Structure 1
Amino acid sequence: MPDVASDPVAEDPSQPEPDELPIPVPDVPGAEATARGLPRRRDLTVRQRLIVDSSAIADLALRTSIASLLSATMIPSVAGAVRRSRSRAEREHLNFYAGLAAAGDPERSFPAPTQLPRVFSRPANPVAEWVAHGNVRNIRFDSSFEAVNPALRDQCASYARNNVVHAQHWRHDDGPRPTLCVIHGFMGSAYLFNGLFFSLPWFYRSGYDVVLYTLPFHGRRAEKYSPFSGHGYFAHGFAGFCEAMAQAVHDFRSLMDYLEYTGVDRIALTGMSLGGYTSALIASVDDRIQAVIPNVPVVTPDRTVDEWFPANKVVALREWLAGTDSALTDAATMYSSPLNYRPLPAKDRRLIIAGLGDRLAPPQQAEILWRHWDRCAFHWFPGNHVLHVSQPDYLRRMTRFMGDFMFD
């Protein structure tokens, strides 16, 4: 293991500063949350209020666009809601996931992989190596996931492309090193975009190996003829979403098995939006996570979609046609929620990041997770879901946060 200082960027002048970012962003500083939580509007400076308000308006436009795509995705499930057999099956699925949620047992809800994946690796394209300034490999392996709900096993097994797991691995030649794993958001699976957005070259040069993990139904895992990356997450009804989350957890644990096999002994996990939701859930299931940093996370997707016009109207129509029991739906939704399980990393190894202008994953979502996580470290910035104003601040915060236990 290389001898690296606890804060390699702060203490090693040869390392790049976080404000040397591939994508420049405005530098209007955020801060740590107080014991009360996120700041009230009157606590912000005039400049911060201006950034929050303007970025929130931009987010509303983006949210409406994504909600329109989701609405089109859910139309087949609306048509199926009028069929009595489909409605009965959906209620049976809801009862199944509600039962697992009520048990609150992560080992039962998310069984661990039982075999080491056979991983295939090849060099990434020259652009990826140019961005990282290092050794980059694209890896893939067959998923060993089996649907948690027995009634859906044949259906889930039929998703041929989805059942091949993909990731990109930035590895130092003298590795393995402590590894930062990154999970992208909904529809945002491109490696190049995430490498730049999360400023991963900076972490790589700070001493970390990096892994970018592709969620189910995204990128190369999207089924043939999918209209967009991530389509399959919401195209198969509520039960399909639950199984997609279960597979996201299972396949990431297989990826960790592989990293351990190659000698990695310390893994930190971060993710954005849906990736933040997934990272928080994984940290409640697998105790090998040394640190977890959900970034602009969603934690109650059902409540979030309630604000997403026109998707909220499509969901309401589907539930009305099917005669869905809202209490049963709420109970089943907790199956894949990190709020239903206790986090396994210690409190001082949990950090949540939120944007005050975020309207896709409103900051109140992050605050709910913060309370569930015993009011752990909590950093906010005055931007929205995709414009992370003062990003260098939270990059430095992440580096200080992870340094003490990720490096000797």
Structure 2
Amino acid sequence: MSGDAAEPLATIAASVPNVPGDDATASGLPAPGDLSLRDRVVVEVSAAADVVVRTAASTLLAATVTPFSVGRTVARRERDNLGFYAELGALHDPERSFPRPTSMPTVRRKRANHVAQAVANGPVEALAFDSPFEAVNPALRSFWKTLDRNNVAHAQHWRHADGPRPTLCVIHGFLASPYLLNGLFLQLPWFYQAGFDILLYTLPFHGARASRLSPFSGHGFFSHGLTGVAEAMAQAVHDFRIFVDYLESTGVEQIGVTGISLGGYTTSLIGSVDDRMKVVMPNVPVVDIGALVQQWFPASTMVEAGLNWGGIDREISDGSLAYSSALNYQPLVPKERRLIITGLGDRLAPPEQSLRLWRHWDRPAMHWFPGNHLLHVSQPDYLRRMTHFLRDNDFMPDEWRSNNRARVSPPKG
């Protein structure tokens, strides 16, 4: 890697606590007793902080799912349709669960705002298209068509003028859709300056896809009940694949995907649906929403009330959630091209979720850091791990190939 490309990471390393993590062993993540005293303290403090954040997030989620819990219309829709997703998911067939897009809509392009240009320090475009997605369940198709803003897909594209380049697609987490937030949090300017193009993808019901009356970005993802979650995930995969089609139409030959939290959930699923991904890197991923919500009080109480109110069997609700989980399908991206990143102190998407994905994926590379969901202590360390992983999979810009220093690890803080 050239000195110029390495300088941004040096700045990152100086501003983010650098308490190194490590790769998982053959037996998985380290037990608390295996950690150094320093790492145990960092993990425990991080976990305590995450519990506070989790409670606040759960309270917000509880308010989001209240209509699902008490509304007769939504409860009836859940009772009549959840079995559809449970039965479809039970086939474990990604082609049937997530059909390929059958048309290529016109992707509209316009210059992004000045802030985006300044953050990337290069040309940035706002992309959008009218989504041709139809609800997987025919019974919901007329309803889904009424969600006008959600049915326009959005992304931000950081590209080099001499492109196309290997493109890293990035998927945000629940609530966390702003491009600027993701660009800075995930250190995307460094990846861009190192030579990659970047595509920041907006999940359904987030950002510009949220309805005008949504109290916050992402509200609609859960407010339409579990049927809505299933269809939102189906649309997330569908629209993402159209953006991949678009990138390929511009000449991009190498495409990878990473995502954080709910974006990690989506990233993992994409690795089981689309074999065009050169690399798949879920970061602090969720893989079992049902199990996770049971740990999130008071949202767990509201969801349980909704199931009881609608007379919905727990097995059916769990089956409907399994429909959109990577745990329900075999990965299409080869093992050596999968990397999982997890935080030992994470209590919003606990490391047990990453461990389940790791085992399901036949124990690929997994790197842990001692921080939590929001404070990625040792981020410079796992950025170095990602850099080595990308290089080892020949997913790299030409600068890395032509520069002998590309084999040198980015500097430590």
TM-score calculated relative to the size of structure 2: 0.93
Larger mean Cα displacement after TM superposition, 94-103 or 269-278: 94-103
- Matched letter for residue 308 of structure 1: W
In the aligned structure 1, how far is the partner of 2:333 from the partner of 2:312? 37
Q: Could you tell me whether the CA contact under 8 Å between 1:117 and 1:258 is conserved in 2?
A: no
CA shift digits 1:193-227 (9 cap, x unpaired): 00000100110111100000000000011011100
Q: How far apart are residue 89 of structure 1 and its match?
A: 3.6
Q: How far apart are residue 246 of structure 1 and its match?
A: 0.3
Tell whether 2:135 aligns with 1:147. yes
In the aligned structure 2, how far is the partner of 1:29 from the partner of 1:246? 37
In the aligned structure 2, how far is the partner of 1:86 from the partner of 1:235? 9
User: Which of 22, 32, 38 is the equivalent residue of 1:31?
Assistant: 22
Q: What is the match of residue 74 of structure 1? A: 65
In the aligned structure 1, how far is the partner of 2:105 from the partner of 2:164? 18
Distance 1:23 1:137, change over 3 A: farther
SS in structure 2 opposite 1:118?
Answer: coil
- Matched letter for residue 405 of structure 1: D
CA shift digits 1:133-154 (9 cap, x unpaired): 1111111111111000001001
Q: Could you tell me whether the CA contact under 8 Å between 1:25 and 1:389 is conserved in 2?
A: yes
CA shift digits 1:86-137 (9 cap, x unpaired): 5454233121001111111111111111112211111111111111111111
In the aligned structure 1, how far is the partner of 2:290 from the partner of 2:226? 10
In the aligned structure 2, how far is the partner of 1:14 from the partner of 1:89? 56
User: Which of 56, 59, 67 is the equivalent residue of 2:50?
Assistant: 59
CA shift digits 1:343-374 (9 cap, x unpaired): 11110000000000000000000000000000
Q: How does 1:253-292 map to 2 (within 5 A)?
A: 253-292=241-280
- Matched letter for residue 240 of structure 1: G
Q: How does 1:330-341 map to 2 (within 5 A)?
A: 330-341=318-329
In the aligned structure 1, how far is the partner of 2:129 from the partner of 2:195? 26
Q: Percent identity?
A: 59
- Structure 1 residue ranges (4+ consecutive) displaced by more than 3 angstroms after TM superposition: 85-89
Which consecutive unaligned segments of at least 5 residues does structure 2 have? 402-413
Q: What is the match of residue 221 of structure 2? A: 233
TM-score calculated relative to the size of structure 1: 0.94
Q: Could you tell me whether the CA contact under 8 Å between 1:290 and 1:406 is conserved in 2?
A: yes
User: Which of 113, 116, 126 is the equivalent residue of 1:138?
Assistant: 126
In the aligned structure 1, how far is the partner of 2:14 from the partner of 2:50? 19
Residues matched between the structures, number: 395
Q: Could you tell me whether the CA contact under 8 Å between 2:339 and 2:365 is conserved in 1?
A: yes
Q: What is the match of residue 3 of structure 2? A: 13
Tell whether 2:172 aligns with 1:184. yes
Q: What is the match of residue 302 of structure 2? A: 314
Larger mean Cα displacement after TM superposition, 103-112 or 321-330: 321-330
Q: How far apart are residue 336 of structure 1 and its match?
A: 0.3
Q: What is the match of residue 42 of structure 1? A: 33
In the aligned structure 2, how far is the partner of 1:241 from the partner of 1:265? 32
Q: What is the match of residue 388 of structure 1? A: 376
Q: What is the match of residue 395 of structure 2? A: 406
In the aligned structure 2, how far is the partner of 1:102 from the partner of 1:304? 21
In the aligned structure 2, how far is the partner of 1:321 from the partner of 1:210? 45
In the aligned structure 2, how far is the partner of 1:54 from the partner of 1:86? 40
Larger mean Cα displacement after TM superposition, 125-134 or 149-158: 125-134
CA shift digits 1:45-85 (9 cap, x unpaired): 111111111111111111111111111111112112xx4x7
Q: How far apart are residue 44 of structure 1 and its match?
A: 0.7
Q: Could you tell me whether the CA contact under 8 Å between 2:342 and 2:368 is conserved in 1?
A: yes
Q: Could you tell me whether the CA contact under 8 Å between 2:86 and 2:320 is conserved in 1?
A: yes
User: Which of 195, 206, 210 is the equivalent residue of 2:194?
Assistant: 206
- Matched letter for residue 33 of structure 1: A
In the aligned structure 2, how far is the partner of 1:190 from the partner of 1:206? 23
In the aligned structure 2, how far is the partner of 1:92 from the partner of 1:358? 36
- Matched letter for residue 320 of structure 2: A
In the aligned structure 1, how far is the partner of 2:77 from the partner of 2:195? 50
In the aligned structure 1, how far is the partner of 2:56 from the partner of 2:117? 33
SS in structure 1 opposite 2:95?
Answer: helix
In the aligned structure 2, how far is the partner of 1:77 from the partner of 1:332? 15
Q: What is the match of residue 168 of structure 1? A: 156
